[in-house]
Structure 1
Amino acid sequence: MKKSTIAAALAASIASAAIGIHLASAAVPAACRTIKLGNIGWTDNEVQDAVFTTLAEGLGYMVKTNLYSEEVMYAGMKDKKIDVFLDDWTPSMNKISGPYEKTKAIDVIGPDLTGAKYTLVVPDYLYKQGLTRFADIHKFAKQLDNTIYGIEPGNDGNEHILAMIKANKFGLGKFHLVQSSEAGMLSEVARKYPKKQAVLFLGWEPEPMNVQFHIRYLSGGHAYFGPHKGQATIYINTMAGYATRCANTGKLLKQFKLSVKDENAMMYKVQVDHAKASAVAAAWLKAHPSWISTTLDGVTTIDGKPGTQAVMAALKAG
């Protein structure tokens, strides 16, 4: 064998070894290969989790998702039993998440969605009758049967309503809150809406209710739900130090962003068309390859290989 050929073979061998060492060093640590997601039962959280899970599984991760109340979930992140929560609505959830942020028991990443809303809403036909502000609610007490419809017990929105009732804020002292679930609340709205009956309930966007019903967001509740009719920003929360320890997942989380329009569309398919969130997420991802490339820029598989190609291949195979 000529010296030049030997030298070339040696160089190739060294380069191959170097690449192997680089990939090994870039591989995700074993402790980070399972991602524990917290879910609070909202459809938007379900859609977010489905999109994130599809990406993560395409990268080779195992994702475990469990349903919790908000309080239990934040305690779980503090105790390092839950890794990630994708749906921290700010400022509405500040009362619950704030103490954990202040003591650095959790980290805040994001935002992953801007332009959201969360406050009390009424159908447009009731808004046109004059119920446009929180201060107007008590004037419609008889029509509303002194009732406000909320979602699951322990939810921050419910807690704000209960605080208003307890303090007789806006003259709501004689009102009562019906606590059930997102689906339960909206079924009551769906029953009353065609008959143009008065109903006052928690509303937010993204959420298919904004497409199903002509609803209006009330003003004047900024002390509880924030300014601009409950304008909200949604952040990602993790257990303390998670994005540093699990840097590859941390990079994905920092680049993970959805829009109100896209979430509304996916949530509609889940909530109204009764499609599985995983199937909806996969279909949306297949239709948005550029979003995948942007979100996975610099993110690898668990074995240190390019992430975008792996996820694209997994979607195609699926």
Structure 2
Amino acid sequence: MSMRKLIAASAVSVAALVAANSSAQATDGEACHNIRVPSVGWTDNDAINGLFATVVKPLGYSVQMDVLGFPIILEGMKNKDVDVFLDNWMPSQSAEITPFLEDGSVVTVRANLQGAGYGPVVPTYVADAGVKDLKDLGGENTDKFEGKFYGIEPGNDGNRIVQSKIDDPANGLDGWELVESSEQGMLVQAEKAIKNNEWVAFLAWTPHPIMGKMPLHYLTGFEADGFGPATIYTVTRTGYSDECPNVGALLKNLEFTLEQEGAIMQAILDGQDGETAATEWLKANPGVLDGWLAGVKTLDGQDGLPAVKAALGL
């Protein structure tokens, strides 16, 4: 073989090796093919989990979405039984997650939603009657509320904060009870009370289509405890993005907006499941995929964007 042919052949071999290595680096191993991303049962969580699943499945992944409480999710990450959680509300969940961040078992990937809010509320007609702060709830007003504050699922950070206020004698909430149920159960109680012009205190947050339509007043007196303006973060078990760099690239890209989540949540509340609602939204708003899928591949090393668009019929 002539020197010219030998050099040419070597160049082709090197190019093929580089291409193979690039493909290998862009894809994830078999242990990454099933992504364990739980839900806490909130409508906003169903919305973003639906978006995530709708995007990763055409890339070749499967998704396992067990319904778990946030403390169990954190323990699951520490034990490597959970991979990703897309709905870490901060600062209200700081007490729950900080020990896991400090011991290195959980890592924060990025903020995925800005401009959210979270805290205890009363209807505006109750605020107009003088209940605007934590310390306005008790005393002569206790009976008007039937001594009940409606929270959501057991283990929730908001419930913890409210219970700590009930337990503190300085707040004058003797005889108050925290009623734990679920987002849906709490909303049924709140909607019924507001319809009847009754006094009710409960947890509320933005984004949420139903709460956004309610006449609500956020109570003061909780600012130092984590309620108020909120930012939502993507977190993973430590080492996940190194083990599964392709999913890790998607997680670094993934961000949402209040308007987007609100629209998908409304579709879920109207009866669609999270993936169906997310699919319909993405078909109508495909532009977000360009940023989300930048540098993301399918499991066989192909460009991820065309694969996802094809699955959506775009």
TM-score (norm 1): 0.91
- d(CA) in 1 for partners of 2:168, 2:80: 36
Residue type at the aligned position of 1:74: L
- d(CA) in 1 for partners of 2:201, 2:191: 12
Partner of 1:106: 106
- Which secondary structure state, in structure 2, belongs to the residue aligned with residue 67 of structure 1? coil
- Name which of structure 1's ranges 201-210 and 18-27 shifts more when overlaid on structure 2: 18-27
Q: What RMSD over aligned residues (CA atoms) do the two structures have, in Å?
A: 2.3
Residue type at the aligned position of 2:143: K
- d(CA) in 1 for partners of 2:24, 2:240: 21
Q: CA deviation at 1:15?
A: 5.6
Q: CA deviation at 1:212?
A: 3.5
Deviation per CA, 1:224-269: give whole Å up to 9, x if none. Answer: 234xxx1111111110111122111111111111111211121122
Match of 1:298 among 288, 295, 299: 295
Partner of 1:258: 256
- Which secondary structure state, in structure 2, belongs to the residue aligned with residue 158 of structure 1? helix
Gaps in structure 1 of 5+ consecutive residues: none
Alpha carbons 1:28, 1:304 under 8 Å: kept: no
Partner of 2:91: 91
Alignment of 1:217-228 (within 5 A): 217-226=218-227
CA separation of 1:80 and 1:62: change in aligned 2, threshold 3 A: same
- Name which of structure 1's ranges 128-137 and 189-198 shifts more when overlaid on structure 2: 128-137
Partner of 2:62: 62
Residue 243 in structure 1 maps to residue 244 in structure 2: no
CA separation of 1:160 and 1:288: change in aligned 2, threshold 3 A: same
- d(CA) in 1 for partners of 2:304, 2:266: 29
Residue type at the aligned position of 2:299: I
Deviation per CA, 1:272-292: give whole Å up to 9, x if none. Answer: x11121111001111222211
- d(CA) in 2 for partners of 1:244, 1:201: 41
Residue type at the aligned position of 1:148: F
- Which secondary structure state, in structure 2, belongs to the residue aligned with residue 289 of structure 1? coil
CA separation of 1:98 and 1:298: change in aligned 2, threshold 3 A: same
- d(CA) in 2 for partners of 1:60, 1:27: 10
Partner of 1:173: 174
Alignment of 1:20-59 (within 5 A): 20=20, 22-59=22-59
Alpha carbons 2:88, 2:235 under 8 Å: kept: yes
Match of 1:284 among 281, 286, 311: 281
- Which secondary structure state, in structure 2, belongs to the residue aligned with residue 135 of structure 1? helix
CA separation of 1:158 and 1:25: change in aligned 2, threshold 3 A: closer
Match of 1:310 among 290, 307, 312: 307
Alpha carbons 1:26, 1:303 under 8 Å: kept: no
- Name which of structure 1's ranges 200-209 and 20-29 shifts more when overlaid on structure 2: 20-29
- Name which of structure 1's ranges 18-27 and 83-92 shifts more when overlaid on structure 2: 18-27
Partner of 1:155: 156
- d(CA) in 2 for partners of 1:169, 1:303: 61
CA separation of 1:106 and 1:17: change in aligned 2, threshold 3 A: closer
Partner of 2:117: 117
- d(CA) in 1 for partners of 2:135, 2:36: 42
- d(CA) in 1 for partners of 2:75, 2:164: 22
- d(CA) in 2 for partners of 1:245, 1:12: 30
Residue 210 in structure 1 maps to residue 208 in structure 2: no
- Which secondary structure state, in structure 2, belongs to the residue aligned with residue 121 of structure 1? strand
Q: CA deviation at 1:135?
A: 2.2
Deviation per CA, 1:67-109: give whole Å up to 9, x if none. Answer: 1111111100000000001111111111111110111110111
Partner of 2:141: 140
Which 4+ runs in 1 deviate beyond 4 A? Answer: 7-18
- Which secondary structure state, in structure 2, belongs to the residue aligned with residue 280 of structure 1? helix
Gaps in structure 2 of 5+ consecutive residues: none
Deviation per CA, 1:131-186: give whole Å up to 9, x if none. Answer: 12212212521211111011111111111111111112421132111111111110
CA separation of 1:108 and 1:22: change in aligned 2, threshold 3 A: closer
TM-score (norm 2): 0.92
Alpha carbons 2:85, 2:234 under 8 Å: kept: yes
Residue type at the aligned position of 1:136: D
- d(CA) in 2 for partners of 1:155, 1:31: 31
